[in-house]
Structure 1
Amino acid sequence: MNIKKYLYLSFGVLFSQAAAAGSFAETFEGAPKLNLNLYVFAADVDGSIGKGNAKYDVDQPFKETVKELDESYMAHVDLSKGKWGIYADRQMVKTSQDRQAMHLPVAVHTKLEQNSYGAYYQAYVSPELTAKNQPKLIVEPTIGVHRTEAKAALAVLNQSAETEASWNEFFWGSRFKYNFNSPWNLASEVTFGAENTHSAQAYLGYRIPVFDRALNVRAGYRYFEQDYKSSNFHWEIRQHGPVIGINLPIF
């Protein structure tokens, strides 16, 4: 499939609504808003990693990931003004494993960094408002770039082997938000990548007043799948599980 085709289509969706508004400058009206999201992804991981004739099958439930976790952090920053917004999402996970294979001690170290950078446009804002004067439904088409960096090291006795790969991938999709006439709210996102990456997530949130801010505590579920091939490297991984996090408006 031609990536340029999807670029043109996605940009067309974003800008057609802005053009219909009459004045492009009007779509930027309003005070800027900055939101910080911190979350924990309790992911089960399965799939396979292959390089050349070597292939490693992955089947790791969340409880095993926690035992072997060295370092992990996940954050999402969102900056918007008017109907437009940009965001950055970063995940980093490092694990270490000590196992036995053919009665020999085996040490496996992995590091996975996944970064997403995107932009969105509020293509539809419901005219119906909640008791808090918020739109009930908001639809935001989005486009951006995924960057994945994967590293793995295997050590058996005095022998070691390392492999690493990194790639960029254009993605497109949409975000949806729904506010109830109460502190409860819903949010979801579906995206598709040019390199066979699929992502879907949905959250139920509850807003809690904290000084002059509304802290949004959220819980939901996320599914993330990648199938990337380059030369003799093949990365086919699925991550799925519950997500717990907070959304804090900075300004």
Structure 2
Amino acid sequence: MIVSPVCCCCFGYSLVALGMALASRQELSPPTSRSGSFSYSERIGGAAIADDPGEVADHEIGLRIRTTILAAGAYYRIYDQLLGGETVFGDTRQFTIEPTVGLRWTKLQAKADAGFIGLDKSADWLDPFIGVRLSTDLTDRWNLSGEADIGGFDTGSKLAINAQAYLGYRTEMFNHPTMLRVGYRYLSQDFETGDFSGNRFKWDVTQQRPVIGLSMRF
């Protein structure tokens, strides 16, 4: 089995605010698997979103929202087409299709600060999701991959949509095979809940940003 950790740094403009995110991904999969292989993956991500301060009754109000996302799932390779030749890592070039199913946990922490008083609120929920992953080796060095899933189904959020695409380049770093990646990620979540006092909380947010990262094989 090969363990391929991926560490990504995400940045860019969110529809909510300018934010920064950190994400990591780990996968367990056979090195030269063919159609019908079963694998497991997990993804951890976090982001801090800070809105510009506003003013209410001549008092400056600051708002900071921190999101933490953990996703784990399994995917099954249903299609594997050999493209001929090998990658620079010695693997067979191929095009693959892998349906996936899993769970995504989201936690929000919000802090409002008016100087003389502060307020902290938090919420978390768990969404099931189903989706598909695609990957194709363009050349012995270049790879194009993408994945998309839909979830929520009124179990956690009403609806959650996640999509991402990456262009990868195979090279070597510290004497280890390495894939450098650049891409784009889209995440939309529609979540609503209430508490015992009748107050409602609604998180209907779309975030999208470019992504850069790498994976290293040990």
Higher helix proportion (structure 1 or 2): 1
1:116–1:221 Cα change, 3 Å: same
CA deviations 1:56-113 (Å, max 9, x no partner) are xxx32x3xx36xxxxx532111112352211111112235567240331223232210
Find the residue that maps to 2:209 and give its secondary structure. Answer: strand
Find the residue that maps to 2:140 and give its secondary structure. Answer: coil
What residue ranges of structure 1 are gaps of 5+ in the alignment? Answer: 1-31, 47-58, 67-71
The separation in 1 between residues aligned to 2:98 and 2:69, in whole angstroms, is 22
Q: Look up the match of 1:154.
A: 112
The separation in 2 between residues aligned to 1:211 and 1:43, in whole angstroms, is 29
Find the residue that maps to 1:182 and give its secondary structure. Answer: coil
Question: Structure 1-normalised TM-score?
Answer: 0.73
1:43–1:131 Cα change, 3 Å: same
The separation in 1 between residues aligned to 2:93 and 2:177, in whole angstroms, is 16
Matched, 1:164 2:132: no
Q: Percent identity?
A: 24
CA deviations 1:198-233 (Å, max 9, x no partner) are 111111111003465321111111111101122322
1:197–1:100 Cα change, 3 Å: closer
Matched, 1:38 2:1: no
1:100–1:225 Cα change, 3 Å: closer
1:200–1:95 Cα change, 3 Å: closer
Q: Look up the match of 1:227.
A: 190
Contact 1:142–1:173 (CA under 8 A) maintained in structure 2: yes
Moved more, 146-155 or 128-137: 128-137
What residue ranges of structure 2 are gaps of 5+ in the alignment? Answer: 153-157, 195-199
2:169 equivalent among 201, 206, 225? 206
Question: Structure 2-normalised TM-score?
Answer: 0.83
Matched, 1:94 2:48: yes
1:98–1:239 Cα change, 3 Å: closer
Matched, 1:75 2:55: no
Moved more, 180-189 or 80-89: 80-89
- State how many pairs are aligned: 199
Q: Look up the match of 2:217.
A: 249
Q: Look up the match of 1:238.
A: 206
- The amino acid across from 1:185 in the alignment is N
Give the superposition deviation at 1:43: 3.6
Q: Look up the match of 2:66.
A: 111
Contact 2:160–2:189 (CA under 8 A) maintained in structure 1: yes
